[in-house]
């Protein structure tokens, strides 16, 4: 074991962290890990399956570690490979640390079902992920600075490199930014950096050095350890949702709101917080757990007035050219640098999942472009793009340079029985995001049966936007999808985005009544029909959306949304179907809103609870309090009973027929 101690001492002198992959049977792998944990002093955080380690963490809880530091860690990937958790864990390790990666037996790994695939594959059982794992294996074997220790194979440690002793960065750039912040006028300041660059420490220094009062907020308090350490007595933390709810109590006298890991907070909440205080500092991680900080800047900061951007590039907690950071960046394609436009015409090509093997550089460029444009694109999406079923891609090329990219996902093909259950609200199987939502929320019971393609992501480099490249990508997708019934897209509604999809030929068929947490916008869905069946679906869905517009507008009176103003009073066949689904099945209140409104206006009998929600527009809390109900569920059950009474009073025979039809679906 002396060679391990000597190697670890060299790592400390070099200021580096290193990856050790242990591949073998369960017992053998655990024995090797236990031996190293015993010989090398450190924290030895264990991430993965429960272990005997003093400190352990489930991969799903990894965001609670943001901002903390550890010496040495084990990442147990023998049952499943949680890529985002590995990235986050690597950012917590100090210089001189080993990251032990436990993986299955080498020759079986790529074909072994991966438990993590349940998060992203849209399957009911774990599946093998050969493209991702084989690429990972190639990177491990090609990396001279990573150590691969396989059962029944000789262990070869890296040759000691002649590297100067590490002198930690003096933090001069940090101090320059701090000086600017300490004299900053009111406005928003944003700092982006990869992990280990000192942005949380910088926020803490600002709190400690500011003569007035600063408040700190973050996705979780435990992730602010570093910030708190540098802030000292000036550290005053309050959770984001509580801060918003108690804004009147906290606003007076506060000069700065410091929002650590801002990109992990829902955009709508972030917008509200930024508006509350005279000065706001946002810090966010490039290559973060949720996605990319660069995408965060594009989406969020671009919409704010008076924003000053800062970037920290030099690592403080480890040396430059760190072996572990380099490996993680290569493995998870974290290099999302801006693509420069070239001279020459643009060509368009279709790409499929086998191209991850046949054209890996081109597929990597597609993923990196999508990452740079969409904050929520993350390593989970990389895994889905590689190994989930029904993924298709296209790219706009200048020479070999990817200037635009589109990602299409197969949807539909569900049985009539399952589609009816989705419509009735009794089933919600994995996948088919828009196809199922068209049934569950837009009332189109046959939408999941039809074959469709959902445009999951589309991106064009900044220099080529507004030149028709995105429209050409969609047009090419349309040409290749002639065997489908329709294309669909789901997006956070803005006028600019809707105008783009409208130019591409899409028809708006739904706008939700609740803002998305990720974008702060109302969710919109649009479809582009490709077949006669798709045309009929689009016509029905558009007509229903038209008839619902006035009632949705009542819920969102201040919003600039393309909603109809005419109030339709008649109850048509679609309304009867919707009302029966609400009354005697599990259709959601929001989906049935317009039909329920028309029922209430008909006044077939007393409907006090529905009237309170729809005509008086009282909140759920107000209605439940006045009716002395226990809560939201009790109110919904009572409103379903009212709808039953209203339908029977309106037309007993017709109500009986629709109830019989519902029973036939079961």
**131 assigned to a ligand binding site:** no
DSSP 621-633: HHHHHHHT-SSHH
Known binding residue 174? Answer is yes
Would the annotation count 460 as a binding residue?
A: yes
In contact, 449 and 416? CB cutoff 8 Å: yes
Q: String of b and e for 292-306 (b: at least 16 CB within 10 Å)? A: bbbbbbbbbbeebee
Q: Is 530 left (phi over 0), alpha (psi -120 to 50) or beta?
A: alpha
Is residue 653 annotated as involved in ligand binding? no
CA distance 89 to 23: 19
The DSSP code sequence of 456-470 is: EEEEE-GGGTTTTHH
DSSP state of 390: T
Buried b (16+ CB within 10 A) or exposed e, 51-88: bebeebbebeebbbbbbbbbbbbbbbbbbbbbbbbbbb
Closest CA to 578 of 427, 437, 424, 429: 424
Q: Residue 474, Cα to own-chain centre: how many angstroms?
A: 23
Q: Element (H or E) spanning 506, and its range?
A: none
322, 328 Cβ separation under 8 angstroms: no
Answer yes or no: is 427 a known binding residue: no
Q: Is 515 annotated as a binding residue?
A: no
What's the burial of 107, exposed, middle or buried (CB within 10 Å: 0-12/13-18/19+)? exposed
Task: Give bridge partners of residue 213 from the DSSP assignment.
Answer: 254
375: part of which helix (H) or strand (E)? Answer: none
Count of all residues that appear for the chain in the document: 666
In this structure, the strands spanning 391-398 and 279-285 are unpaired
What are the C-alpha distances in Å from 494 to residues 503, 510, 595, 643? 14, 14, 26, 34
d(CA 228, CA 237): 9
Would you say 540 is a known binding-site residue? no
Q: Which residues is 166 bridged to in the sheet?
A: none
| Sheet of 401-412, strand order | 347-352, 391-398, 401-412, 451-460, 486-492, 522-529, 507-515
* Residue 62, CA distances (Å) to 41, 220, 288, 579 in order: 23, 11, 12, 44
- CA-CA distance, 599 to 587, in Å (whole number)? 16
**Annotated binding-site members:** 174, 317, 458-460, 496, 503
**Annotated binding-site members for acetyl-CoA:** 458-460, 496, 503
**Annotated binding-site members for ATP:** 174, 317
């Amino acid at each position: 074991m002396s060679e391990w101690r000597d190697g670890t001492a060299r790592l400390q002198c070099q200021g580096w962290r290193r990856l050790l992959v242990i591949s073998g049977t369960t017992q053998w792998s655990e024995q090797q890990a236990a031996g190293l944990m015993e010989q090398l002093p450190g924290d030895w955080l264990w991430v993965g399956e429960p272990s005997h380690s003093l400190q352990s963490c489930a991969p799903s809880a990894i965001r609670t570690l943001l901002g903390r530091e550890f010496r040495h860690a084990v990442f147990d990937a023998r049952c499943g490979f949680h890529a985002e958790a590995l990235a986050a864990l690597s950012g917590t390790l100090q210089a001189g640390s080993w990251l032990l990666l436990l993986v299955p037996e080498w020759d079986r790994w790529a074909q072994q079902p991966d438990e993590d695939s349940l998060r992203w594959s849209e399957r009911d059982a774990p599946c093998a992920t050969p493209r991702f794992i084989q690429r990972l294996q190639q990177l491990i074997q090609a990396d001279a600075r990573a150590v691969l220790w396989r059962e029944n194979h000789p262990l070869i440690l890296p040759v000691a490199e002649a590297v100067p002793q590490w002198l930690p960065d003096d933090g001069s750039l940090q101090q320059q930014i701090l000086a600017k912040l300490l004299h900053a006028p009111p406005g928003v300041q944003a700092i982006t950096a990869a992990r280990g660059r000192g942005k949380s420490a910088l926020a803490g220094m600002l709190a400690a050095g500011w003569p007035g009062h600063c408040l700190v907020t973050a996705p979780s308090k435990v992730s602010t350890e570093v910030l708190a350490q540098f802030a000292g007595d000036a550290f005053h933390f309050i959770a984001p949702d509580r801060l918003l709810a108690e804004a009147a109590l906290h606003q007076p006298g506060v000069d700065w709101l410091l929002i650590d890991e801002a990109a992990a907070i829902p955009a709508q909440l972030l917008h509200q917080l930024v508006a509350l205080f005279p000065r706001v500092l946002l810090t966010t991680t490039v290559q973060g757990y949720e996605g990319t900080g660069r995408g965060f800047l594009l989406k969020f900061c671009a919409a704010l007035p008076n924003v000053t951007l800062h970037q920290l590039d030099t690592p403080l907690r480890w040396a430059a050219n760190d072996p572990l950071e380099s490996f993680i960046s290569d493995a998870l394609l974290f290099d999302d640098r801006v693509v420069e436009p070239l001279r020459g015409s643009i060509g368009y090509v279709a790409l499929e999942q086998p191209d991850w093997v046949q054209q890996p550089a081109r597929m990597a460029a597609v993923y990196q472009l999508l990452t740079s444009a969409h904050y929520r694109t993350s390593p989970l999406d990389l895994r889905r793009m590689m190994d989930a079923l029904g993924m298709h891609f296209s790219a706009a090329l200048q020479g070999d340079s990817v200037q635009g990219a589109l990602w299409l996902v197969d949807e539909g093909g569900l049985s009539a029985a399952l589609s009816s259950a989705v419509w009735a609200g009794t089933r919600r199987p994995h996948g088919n995001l828009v196809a199922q939502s068209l049934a569950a929320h837009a009332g189109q019971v046959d939408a999941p049966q039809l074959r469709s393609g959902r445009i999951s992501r589309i991106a064009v480099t900044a220099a080529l936007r507004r030149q028709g490249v995105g429209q050409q990508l969609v047009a090419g997708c349309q040409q290749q999808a002639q065997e489908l019934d329709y294309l669909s897209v789901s997006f956070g509604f803005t006028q600019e985005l809707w105008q783009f999809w409208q130019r591409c030929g899409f028809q708006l068929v739904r706008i939700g009544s609740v803002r998305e947490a990720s974008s702060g916008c109302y969710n919109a869905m649009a479809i582009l029909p490709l077949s006669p069946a798709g045309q009929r679906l689009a016509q029905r869905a558009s007509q229903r959306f038209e008839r619902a517009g006035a009632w949705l507008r009542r819920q969102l009176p201040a919003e600039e949304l393309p909603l109809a103003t005419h109030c339709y009073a008649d109850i048509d066949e679609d309304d009867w179907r919707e009302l029966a689904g609400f009354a005697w099945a599990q259709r959601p209140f929001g989906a049935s809103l317009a039909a329920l409104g028309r029922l209430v206006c008909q006044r077939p009998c007393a409907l006090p609870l529905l009237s309170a929600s729809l005509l008086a527009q009282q909140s759920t809390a107000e209605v439940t309090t006045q009716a002395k109900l226990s809560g939201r569920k009790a109110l919904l059950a009572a409103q379903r009973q009212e709808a039953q009474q209203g339908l029977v009073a309106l037309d007993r025979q017709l109500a009986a027929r629709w109830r019989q039809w519902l029973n036939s679906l079961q």
